[in-house]
Structure 1
Amino acid sequence: MRGRMIRLILVMVVLVTGFAAAVAITLRVTGFPEDLRFSPEQEYVYRIPFPLSIVVKEDQAGVIQPPNTDANEKYGGVCTALVIGPEHTGRAEVEVRLFGVIPVRRVVVNVTENVEVIPSGHAIGVLLATEGVVIVGHVPLRGLDGKQYHPARNAGLLAGDVLLAINDQQVSKVDDVERIISGLAASGSLNLKIKRNGQVLRKEIKPVVSAPIAGLKP
């Protein structure tokens, strides 16, 4: 009887270990990042059919919001939603755990203030990344006709996309984005090379001539 119990426990340990390994591999294959960068107004949502939770070191807890118990109702649906939301600017190391116990991945989270670039009537929020710049959002533009336009949104750009190149010119910092867009002819278009969830995509933005913006030199 005792031998059977020991074998049963060993089988359960093997199954749990194997399941944890499968979860870790799934996170890697599906593009769960090891490095997250966003502004205080954003949050990272990851949907996966496993019960995951996060643990933050005590001395870094002020950077990341406490886990949101309503996250699964808001984002999950048929899957589990893991939400990492910033609280203050800074850097934190987050441990992703299965069943709240088994560590399956470590993530470095950098929360920095959003840098808004508005050259030549284009408004797009960007953050520095290890390659290119991360798009953290876009705002509407008011055209000369007084109407609002959303050129970046209409082109299919999403928050979290990594901007790699504009018109075949590589970008690695905010200044690159401003320089290229500022030198664009009024009738030209922006051909963007972006990375989304590990996949490289091409997008095209049709420019909009905007009304004068207070505080900006023509």
Structure 2
Amino acid sequence: MNRNNKIYRKILIFATIFSLLFTIIYGSNQYINLYIPDEMKLIVDRDESFEFNVPIQAHFTSEKQGVLSINESNVPKDRINLSEPFSVRSSETGEISVQLKLFGIIPIKNVKVNVISQDELIPAGLTVGVVVSTNGVMVLGTGVVNGADGLNYEPAKGVLKTGDYIIKINDTKINSKEELVEHINIYGEKDITLTINRNGDIKNVNVTPIKSMGDNDYKLGIWVRDDTQGIGTITYIDEKDNRFGALGHGITDADTKQLISVADGEILETRITSITKGQRGFPGEISGVIIKDKENILGSVDKNTEYGIFGNVNEAIFNHIERKPLKIGLKHEIEVGQAFIRSFVDEEIKDYEIKITKVYLGNGDINKGMIIEVVDEGLLERTNGIVQGMSGSPIIQNDKIIGAVTHVFIQDSTRGYGTFIENMLRVAH
């Protein structure tokens, strides 16, 4: 009996130690994923301070030797302890690889650190109209064709899917709905080969048009879209090359919820007609008229990504925006507390006070790196917080542009999310 008790105690002690180690490792891993990103940026020749307070050792590997210093001294054996505050400085641009080890033993995560030159951007905050054309014609869905013979057909069922892009018919490039309809009727009842883009995979499919009752046109039984438009806010302009970033998130199709594949587009002047305040359960919005005259074009759009839309501005935009650049603030520099968003409300660009309440340095949702709360009384009176159309409004803290507004909380329009400016810059070119 006594021997059995000893064995039981040993098993209990082992189970307790194992459980404790598992909790520590799992908890540390969760913390790391939330607060330590997969990629980070540093500014060359600038001390960058960090405070993670975790029992982890970081192992540095640089492309060049002797360019990295920790706490104002050369890195001892390229290792530092993350349980204490520390500062990092690199004398040259380049890439640094960092391996994180729990207790200096158990590998947990690899972090890529890019050392970049100091950039300055013009925080814009201008509300604009955005009009983009798809790269091909987007399929919204398939349906029934009432045939000229009185029967019902579904020629595209099982062949085309929602979200497909039709880019060619029998090797002829298709740019619009009108071109699609025209070429379907040219081929009539003959089998046609459609070149489609399905989630980045280019493939050919065959389908036979059906002559429809009533108009006698040939149809595939599909609903399609070839352009989209809306209102959003320009986040920044880079004066070096006149590149801009806007929205802080991508343009998705209202029906398919998929990121739209953009061929080209424009940003144009917009006349704000009304502002609907946000209410609990109902996000407000900025409504306006996009002025589609040639002289009101402010720039072109060439990229639509998860991080926002990007393109080039022309000189006309500086009739609306002051050329006052700010330094960029990296994600690890962001502090909980006072900040500002720059937005176009009441027919002028102004800075409105907000409070950053939480910062997520990890790589969870790329558009939701921080939680912000509007505290500016004037903006609360006018919009009740964040409304649709303010996406892309630059976030400024300590005289640096640090990010952009991306989403509003449906149940509380005074609060929302922001993305980091370095996320947008990563894909800007």
- Give the alignment's TM-score, normalised by structure 1: 0.48
More strand by share: 2
Q: Which has the higher helix share?
A: 1
Give TM-score scaled by structure 2 length: 0.27
Query: Greater Rg, structure 1 or structure 2?
Result: 2
